Amino acid sequence: MIKVVVVDDEEFIRRGMVLTTPWDDFNCEVVGEAKNGKEGIQLIRRLNPDIVITDIRMPIMDGIVMIRELFGNVDSEYIIISGYDDFKYAQQAIKLGVQDYLLKPIEDSEFYNTLKKIIDVVKMKQKHLYGANHCAQMENCKLQLFNENFVENNYDGRIKYVSEAVEYIKLNYYKEITVSDAADCLYISKSYLSKLFKAYTNYTFIEYVTAYRIKMAISLLQDYRIKVYEVSEKVGYKDSKYFCVIFKKYIGVTPMEFKYGLSH
């Protein structure tokens, strides 16, 4: 079932929408209601709905501010309803990725058509993310292989350099580091460390750094409160767009899609 949350301060309208809409016909279920944006934020973060239907003008916090606060933290699709024919509101809504903007009073046919359109978007997203949970499980296997790839119980003296280089990565992965930096710390040449590292780990230095960063990112992304750009910075990528490209290349889905997959 597609999960829906309705946020509107007018109880008559909110309850009317919840009780009179044939949700089952759309394979939808209303999982929560809120009467203002502040309540809406708490509810949406907790329930991770697929669709949020919200009014704009509400006490305490309006719908636009609520969506802005949630932007980048949840992967819901939004429908805004309002009694105000204000283009500025529509512009703000569009910038925040709102799927549709409906004016009160809303005709059933108009609302149902909008709902069908949003449901198609959700289904396409779910189809695209069909493997997100599976990907998370598969990634655990990949990371397990990554963890086991470097075997320390080896009496070869050269392993010491590789082991120390790996430790250097673990302590500094969130910085801009290179094999030259690690080699300088170990007082050996860059070329020598590169050859040893590849021979003993089967990874180049930068491949190992990337894999370790992605491993750390996966751990951070499981916290719904943290934003993707914050994860990017914490694992050593100042450019969050580049981080998303690397993450998708390694995992198969974007960081936001990965978060969505874990929550559904």
Q: Where are the domains of the chain?
A: 2-128, 132-263
Q: Which tens digit of pLDDT belongs to each residue from 208-251?
A: 999 899 989 988 988 878 889 999 999 999 999 999 999 888 88
Compute the mean pLDDT over every residue in the chain, rounded to the nearest whole number: 83
Q: Find the DSSP H helices in the chain.
A: 11-20, 37-47, 63-70, 87-95, 108-128, 132-148, 159-172, 179-186, 190-201, 205-221, 228-234, 240-251, 255-263
Residue 175: which residues within 8 A CB-CB, separation 6 or more?
A: 236
Q: What is the pTM of this model?
A: 0.51
Q: Is 20 exposed, middle or buried (0-12, 13-18, 19+ CB in 10 A)?
A: exposed
> Which comes out higher in pLDDT, residue 174 or 262?
174
- Please, how many CA atoms are within 13 Å of residue 134, restricted to the half-sphere of its CB? 7
Write the CATH number of the domain with boundaries 132-263.
1.10.10.60
Identify the bridge partners of residue 71 per DSSP, sorted by sequence position: 74
63-67, 71-75, 77-81, 242-246, range with the lowest pLDDT:
71-75
For domain 2-128, the CATH architecture is 3-Layer(aba) Sandwich (3.40)
Asked if 50 and 76 touch (Cβ cutoff 8 Å), the reply is yes
| Whether the predicted pLDDT of 28 surpasses 80 | yes
Q: Rounded CA gap, 74 and 262, in Å?
A: 12
Same CATH fold, 132-263 and 2-128?
A: no
Q: Rounded CA gap, 244 and 96, in Å?
A: 19
pLDDT band at 84 (very low <50, low <70, confident <90, very high): low
Q: Rounded CA gap, 29 and 5, in Å?
A: 9
| Whether the predicted pLDDT of 148 surpasses 50 | no
> Which comes out higher in pLDDT, residue 262 or 98?
98
Q: Which tens digit of pLDDT belongs to each residue from 170-208?
A: 999 999 999 999 999 999 999 999 999 988 888 899 999
Q: What value does the mean pLDDT take over residues 66-71?
A: 85
